[in-house]
Amino acid sequence: EVQLLESGGGLVQPGGSLRLSCAASGFTFSSYAMSWVRQAPGKGLEWVSAISGSGGSTYYADSVKGRFTISRDNSKNTLYLQMNSLRAEDTAVYYCAKDGASPLPEDAFDIWGQGTMVTVSS
């Protein structure tokens, strides 16, 4: 069964850091680009970052550029999101999502994890 399982969320103070993980199973992880998408409480979906299958190319939304870093370890079938300089507006459920067909981030997201909640508050 194809599955994504996020972890690492929690409560962090403004200015703090957190690292999210997404464990993948049931498919050839390195063959697909991966993304992080977030959803603030009661709000819509916002794409955050993407990474190619090889990990050699990364992409960021302007709202997180310079503060967040996406990476992957294909030997461990795991995607990461390092979040630094966190702000209250980063509070959201963070989902990892699999690209539908390509090692480059250029397709719809066919598999999503269940999400992990990040709360930035003092």
Residues that bind other proteins (CB under 8 A): 35, 37, 44-47, 50, 57, 59, 95, 100, 104-110, 112-115
* Nearest residue (CB) to other proteins, 1 versus 75: 1
Question: Which value, in Å, is the radius of gyration of the alpha carbons in the chain?
Answer: 13
Given the complex with other proteins, which of 38 and 80 has the nearer CB atom?
A: 38
In the bound complex, what is the minimum distance in angstroms from residue 95's beta carbon to other proteins?
6
Return contacts of 73-76, CB within 8 angstroms, 24+ apart: 74/29, 74/30
- CA-CA-CA-CA torsion for 5, 82, 108, 55, nearest 10 degrees? -100
Q: How far is the CB of 58 from other proteins (least distance, A)?
A: 9
With H, G, I as helix, E, B as strand and everything else as coil, classify residue 90: helix
Which residue's CB is nearer to other proteins, number 32 or number 109?
A: 109
